[in-house]
């Protein structure tokens, strides 16, 4: 591996954990802001409280549809909206509720030496198997494994012959 590998791996682990934490909180904040604005535009009561609930739910990696689906139900059942307005607000709330799917691909692995798909797969796999803590452990282990593998491939003397 070479001298200084331990320090390099420690920095990679710390950077990965920091990037995942900042990514999760940043994505949750942006999604809560989008859902809150959509709720305000739609005129749903308690939009601020629902946006705050969306923030907490998003940080816990629970889909924001838990907040937006009841709001959509309110829009359709209240009788205060015409059909066109209800359809428009439904689409707006569904899109803002699923914004984390797009944001996670752009914000999750920023500032890490490993490629973003590695961080994303590690975070999602870790989340699926180990919950919130698993999200950080999975991303860190996959980033470290990727770095070790790439160093191993680069140090192989036969790699130059094959290429």
Question: pLDDT tens digits for 12-62?
Answer: 888 888 888 888 888 889 999 999 999 999 999 999 999 999 999 988 888
Tokens for 68, please give them.
Answer: 């937006």
Query: Picking from 35-44, 80-89, 92-101, 153-162, which range would have the lowest pLDDT averaged per residue?
Result: 153-162
Rounded to whole angstroms, how far apart are CA atoms 66 and 4?
A: 47
Give me the chain's average pLDDT, please.
85
- Residue 154 carries which DSSP code? H
- Does the structure show a pLDDT above 80 at 108? no
Please report the pLDDT score of residue 156 as a whole number: 67
Please report the pLDDT score of residue 160 as a whole number: 60
What is the percentage of the chain residues whose pLDDT exceeds 70?
90
Burial grade of 114 (CB within 10 A; 0-12, 13-18, 19 or more): buried
Please report the pLDDT score of residue 4 as a whole number: 66
User: Residue 133 — pLDDT band, cuts 50, 70, 90?
Assistant: confident
- Does the structure show a pLDDT above 70 at 68? yes
Please report the pLDDT score of residue 132 as a whole number: 82
């Amino acid at each position: 591996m070479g001298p200084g590998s331990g320090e390099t791996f420690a920095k990679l682990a710390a950077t990965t954990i920091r990037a995942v934490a900042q990514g999760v909180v940043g994505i949750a904040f942006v999604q809560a802001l989008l859902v809150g604005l959509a709720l305000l535009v739609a005129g749903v009561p308690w939009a601020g409280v629902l946006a705050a609930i969306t923030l907490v739910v998003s940080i816990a990696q629970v889909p924001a549809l838990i907040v937006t689906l009841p709001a959509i139900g309110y829009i359709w059942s209240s009788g205060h909206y015409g059909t066109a307005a209800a359809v428009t607000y439904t689409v707006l709330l569904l899109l803002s509720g699923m914004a984390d799917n797009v944001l996670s691909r752009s914000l999750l692995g920023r500032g890490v030496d490993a490629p973003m798909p590695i961080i994303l797969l590690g975070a999602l796999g870790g989340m699926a198997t180990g919950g919130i803590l698993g999200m950080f452990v999975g991303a860190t282990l996959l980033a470290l494994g990727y770095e070790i593998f790439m160093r191993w491939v680069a140090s192989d003397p036969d790699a130059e012959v094959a290429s």
